[in-house]
Structure 1
Amino acid sequence: MSPASPAHSEAPAAAPPRLMALATVVILGSIMSVLDVTVVNVAMHPLAEHFDTSLATIQWVASGYSLSLAAVIPVTAWAIGRFGTKPVYMTALVLFVAGSLLAGLAWSPGTLVAFRVIQGLGGGMIMPTGMTIMMRAATPETTGRMMSILGIPILIGPLAGPILGGWLIDAFSWRWMFTINVPVGALALVLAARILPSVPGSPGRRLDLPGLLMLSPGLAGFIYGLSTGAERRDFGSWDVLLPAVAGLALVTGFLVRARRSPAGLIDLRLYRNRSFATGAATLSLFVVGYFGSMLMLPMYFQVVRGESITASGLLGSPLALSAGITMQFSGRLSDRVSPRKLVASGVALAALGMALLTVQLSDDLAYWRLGLSLAVLGTGVGLTIMPTMAAATRGLSSEEAPSASTALQINSQTAASIGMAFFSVMLSTGAGGDSTVPHHAEPFADTYAWAVVFMLAALLPALRLPLRAPSAARPVDAGTAEQRTPVHG
């Protein structure tokens, strides 16, 4: 793939901001987007009671956000190329903050769902745009360090979300789950206006409207079908099958068309790059096994062990803490050692931790033993996710960054939805087909075994990642290097 032309670069004219200054802006936005998913998940019952409506109706508060998030991700790459990262990122923040404020003022289930959709439109652009900003700020030698910073929100969200959501509801009101984003988002907007480089986009960049009309509704329909089927633990009804099948058909149509279109919504030529293709495959398989199965952990604590929402979040902390700590040095390590050796070791260690959890899980397993298994799993996760993304994106040109970040976000979002649906079905099957959550540990253990299978499957593409360490790899050409924002410190 040829490097981007200088006309499409986005390097600032003045001295560039330091990596940590950029990271502060990106993390503030990203952590709001990630937290908002897990915070709301613990509030379904209180919201249903407040609005005197059914859980099926109030579930759209979560589903509406997820669907709008999935629908807007595909257009992000085009918007970045057309307008530049700074306007797109700030627009995403404005939408998210406005949606948060309105959601906190909602007066009915319908208005709450509508305002959550506005939130999702902003949230869907925050992550890929933030990743593009950081990719352009990094050199090939510092890509791993940058990815370790980007991983902070992904790991904090699942840990802090249930705890924060439960505390806000118990101590204040469900409205605070949304309005708390307003001051944080306002700070992120001020910092973005001051720190992010202002470089215009390309006015002649046309939107692939036919591609957008296939990919965005396709992803939304497919994810809706999977999410609804997982929620009901029933994939046989027409209102689950129809959107899932129609969505899959639209996504397939997009892929067929994009292969023939040189100016598609997402540049599929990225997948000709072996590092990107194997990294995306590794990440997708790993996400199916990890994120899909991790949704069962709070259920196990709450239903089998009788713990509260807040306690279940705290009991899962060994996983998030070990992953977060490991991620901070694994990103830097990935700038110096072989991606193949590092990622394969991480995947194998995560599979070992998941296997330890699987073989030990019982109705009365000692929490210290469970925590130790989660710590091993988390260490493997920290050695896998961000080093894989670093390996996939290292050396890509500035022009390729938006498509790369968008493609990885789509892959991860879809893989997580597939994982949640798959493990929901497996858990239900293990409970004898009952639609309720099982009250014993055995179905959980049987379902976790599938997570081990997916993680081991992720080893296959991981073993095809580059063998040479980045420091030993051939430097990128001058044309590409000139387009990157240098990183200091």
Structure 2
Amino acid sequence: MRDDPSPAADPRRVDAELLRVGLILQLGALAPLLDTTIVSVAIPQLAEAFSARVSEIQLVNTGYLLAFAMVVPLVGWAIERYGARTVWLVSLLLFLAGSVLCGAAWSLPSLVVARVVQGAAGGMVFPVMQTILARVAGEQRLGRAMAILAVPGQLGPIIGPTLGGVLVASLGWRWIFFVNVPICLIAVAASRRGLAPDTRDPARRLDVTGLALLVPAMAVLVYGLTQTEAGGRWPGVTSVVCVGLGLILLLLFVRHALRRPAPLVDVRLLRVRSLASASTVVFCTQAALFGAMFVLPLFYAQAYRLDTLSIGLLLAPQGLGAMLAMPLVGVLVDRIGARPLVLAGIVLAALGTLPFALAGPDADRLSLAVGLGVRGLGLGAAVIPVIAATYWGVPAGDYPGATTVFNIVQRLGGSFGVAVLAAVLQWQLGAGRGGGVPEAEAFANTFWWTIGFTVLTLLPAVFVPARRKRARLPARTA
């Protein structure tokens, strides 16, 4: 693996090394991505197996999400200290161990603890994958590299619900975790052979004060937003307290990081226009994406009374649309720049959501499927250039730090979108409006909020650089 890409690399093609590394990383990322959707399918079976209420069994997902968010701030430091290849292998082995523990769980508390282990591993997988691909590709081929990065993210929602339904029905709930074992073993073997050791800085010290501020900040922010999703009021006292405390801790961390030469996460990197604008855009797009992914299954379940497997298949057009966008968008980013693609993608995503905002109780499924396909095409066209533009102007030595900043914003954006749209839907259905409105109208109004999130993304998207520029900040030293 290279820290500094070779200037001789041909920007017009994906060479053998980038393709090989990309395939290895895709394999490693597949298990965590499948796991999220597979587990969601099995929630009723888990509740029955452990004689738990739905509110109690939700700890299985809440623990995963909290661990997933809390570990992200540590990834950049770990990559610099131990090397990206080492952190990647550790994350895969940790996810393997968590999967085995989940499958062997004998009680609900043991399952929650095992899911925390899985979440911590999954939280490391994606930032490390992003850093490795960026280093191998270099700035000239970041578009193609980030298109490779996005593939597992689209396969998960398509394959996960179907595979989860089959496994639960035929083999039982334990196999939704055991299925990760062969995937992780193959990924570890391929990574050991196919990923070269990279540079590391044994003298890189851990910013303990930053760790004590940022990790709890991420935990209480995500938990507070999760509580908004689950609660009946908008917002509940718990969510307000947690979000407020999280924001205070986050501001204290920023103050600390600006005063320290080598903080846990270097917020000074946000002075790079590409990273600042890309982070803002990804916050909005993740809010729109994950918020809609929370509302869409509920819409299909309540409007058409469909089971989980059927809903998963109906949601597949969004992933298929995004996958169709990837090859072309990856090439175009490297040739024409990011801004025009991001703007066009945002408009397409908004237009694709419009059929749901206009849908009545007898909406045609085909038109909704076409809308989801267009929405996926737009999101793919917008997100891939944004990830690529994250590194434009950032010194290669600061790629781990830029990746950490980007992923923190990405996690918070997704949680924020789910929380807001869940609260809006609850309010529309009657939690805060005295009797509410008809169900079809409540969902339509909520989808208008999704369109609002999407259109709002146009503002920061204007500041995404049209072309990549050379790094202007010196690489940070410990």
TM alignment of 1:223-302, pairs within 5 A: 223-302=222-301
- Rounded to whole Å, the distance in 1 between the matches of 2:84 and 2:425 is 42
Give CA deviations for 1:434-488 in whole Å, capped at 9, x if unaligned. Answer: 79999832211101101111111111111112234x5xx6x669x99xxxxxxxx
Deviation at 1:425, TM superposition (A): 0.5
Deviation at 1:378, TM superposition (A): 1.3
Secondary structure at the counterpart of residue 206 of structure 1: coil
- Rounded to whole Å, the distance in 2 between the matches of 1:325 and 1:10 is 31
Name the residue aligned to 1:484: none
Answer yes or no: is 1:55 the counterpart of 2:51.
Answer: no
Alpha-carbon spacing, 1:39–1:421, altered in 2? closer, same or farther (3 Å): same
Name the residue aligned to 2:356: 357
Structure 2 length-normalised TM: 0.92
Matching residue's letter, 1:49: E
Matching residue's letter, 2:161: P
Answer yes or no: is 1:430 the counterpart of 2:419.
Answer: no
Answer yes or no: is 1:385 the counterpart of 2:383.
Answer: yes
Matching residue's letter, 1:384: A
- Rounded to whole Å, the distance in 1 between the matches of 2:437 and 2:168 is 27
Name the residue aligned to 1:444: 443
Answer yes or no: is 1:366 the counterpart of 2:364.
Answer: yes
Give CA deviations for 1:407-445 in whole Å, capped at 9, x if unaligned. Answer: 111111100000000000100111122799998322111
- Rounded to whole Å, the distance in 2 between the matches of 1:356 and 1:307 is 19
Name the residue aligned to 1:483: none
Deviation at 1:162, TM superposition (A): 1.9
On the 8 A contact 1:156/1:320 being kept in 2, the answer is yes
Alpha-carbon spacing, 1:331–1:437, altered in 2? closer, same or farther (3 Å): farther
TM alignment of 1:83-162, pairs within 5 A: 83-162=82-161
Deviation at 1:215, TM superposition (A): 0.7
On the 8 A contact 1:299/1:437 being kept in 2, the answer is no
Q: Which shifted more, 49-58 or 186-195?
A: 49-58
Name the residue aligned to 1:212: 211
- Rounded to whole Å, the distance in 1 between the matches of 2:4 and 2:48 is 49
- Rounded to whole Å, the distance in 1 between the matches of 2:401 and 2:133 is 14
Alpha-carbon spacing, 1:66–1:10, altered in 2? closer, same or farther (3 Å): farther
Secondary structure at the counterpart of residue 319 of structure 2: helix
Higher RCO (Cα < 8 Å, 6 or more apart): 1
Secondary structure at the counterpart of residue 335 of structure 2: coil
Answer yes or no: is 1:317 the counterpart of 2:316.
Answer: yes
- Rounded to whole Å, the distance in 2 between the matches of 1:241 and 1:333 is 43
Alpha-carbon spacing, 1:437–1:216, altered in 2? closer, same or farther (3 Å): farther
Structure 1 length-normalised TM: 0.90
Alpha-carbon spacing, 1:56–1:205, altered in 2? closer, same or farther (3 Å): same
Alpha-carbon spacing, 1:434–1:170, altered in 2? closer, same or farther (3 Å): farther
Give CA deviations for 1:45-81 in whole Å, capped at 9, x if unaligned. Answer: 1101111111122111111111111111101100000
Deviation at 1:158, TM superposition (A): 2.2
Deviation at 1:268, TM superposition (A): 1.2
Give CA deviations for 1:163-211 in whole Å, capped at 9, x if unaligned. Answer: 2222211121111111110110001100111111113411110111110
- Rounded to whole Å, the distance in 2 between the matches of 1:446 and 1:394 is 38
- Rounded to whole Å, the distance in 2 between the matches of 1:115 and 1:347 is 38
Secondary structure at the counterpart of residue 156 of structure 2: helix
On the 8 A contact 2:143/2:330 being kept in 1, the answer is yes
**Superposition RMSD in Å:** 2.3
- Rounded to whole Å, the distance in 2 between the matches of 1:461 and 1:34 is 28
- Rounded to whole Å, the distance in 2 between the matches of 1:247 and 1:476 is 32
Alpha-carbon spacing, 1:445–1:190, altered in 2? closer, same or farther (3 Å): same
Alpha-carbon spacing, 1:304–1:150, altered in 2? closer, same or farther (3 Å): same
Deviation at 1:303, TM superposition (A): 1.6
Give CA deviations for 1:305-325 in whole Å, capped at 9, x if unaligned. Answer: 111111111111211101111
Alpha-carbon spacing, 1:237–1:429, altered in 2? closer, same or farther (3 Å): closer
Secondary structure at the counterpart of residue 282 of structure 2: helix
Secondary structure at the counterpart of residue 420 of structure 1: helix
Structure 1 regions of 5+ residues with no counterpart? Answer: 1-7, 481-489
Deviation at 1:387, TM superposition (A): 1.0
Name the residue aligned to 2:400: 402
- Rounded to whole Å, the distance in 1 between the matches of 2:275 and 2:449 is 26
On the 8 A contact 2:287/2:416 being kept in 1, the answer is yes
Alpha-carbon spacing, 1:239–1:404, altered in 2? closer, same or farther (3 Å): same
Matching residue's letter, 1:297: L
Deviation at 1:332, TM superposition (A): 1.4
Matching residue's letter, 1:308: D
- Rounded to whole Å, the distance in 1 between the matches of 2:438 and 2:145 is 42
Q: Identity of counterpart residues, as a percentage?
A: 35
Deviation at 1:238, TM superposition (A): 4.0
Secondary structure at the counterpart of residue 457 of structure 2: helix
- Rounded to whole Å, the distance in 1 between the matches of 2:99 and 2:34 is 12
- Rounded to whole Å, the distance in 2 between the matches of 1:466 and 1:9 is 23
On the 8 A contact 2:100/2:181 being kept in 1, the answer is yes
On the 8 A contact 1:162/1:313 being kept in 2, the answer is yes
Alpha-carbon spacing, 1:140–1:213, altered in 2? closer, same or farther (3 Å): same
Name the residue aligned to 1:20: 19
Give CA deviations for 1:315-344 in whole Å, capped at 9, x if unaligned. Answer: 112111011111221111111113211111
Answer yes or no: is 1:418 the counterpart of 2:416.
Answer: yes
- Rounded to whole Å, the distance in 1 between the matches of 2:165 and 2:84 is 35
- Rounded to whole Å, the distance in 2 between the matches of 1:69 and 1:327 is 26
Matching residue's letter, 2:296: L
Alpha-carbon spacing, 1:209–1:106, altered in 2? closer, same or farther (3 Å): same
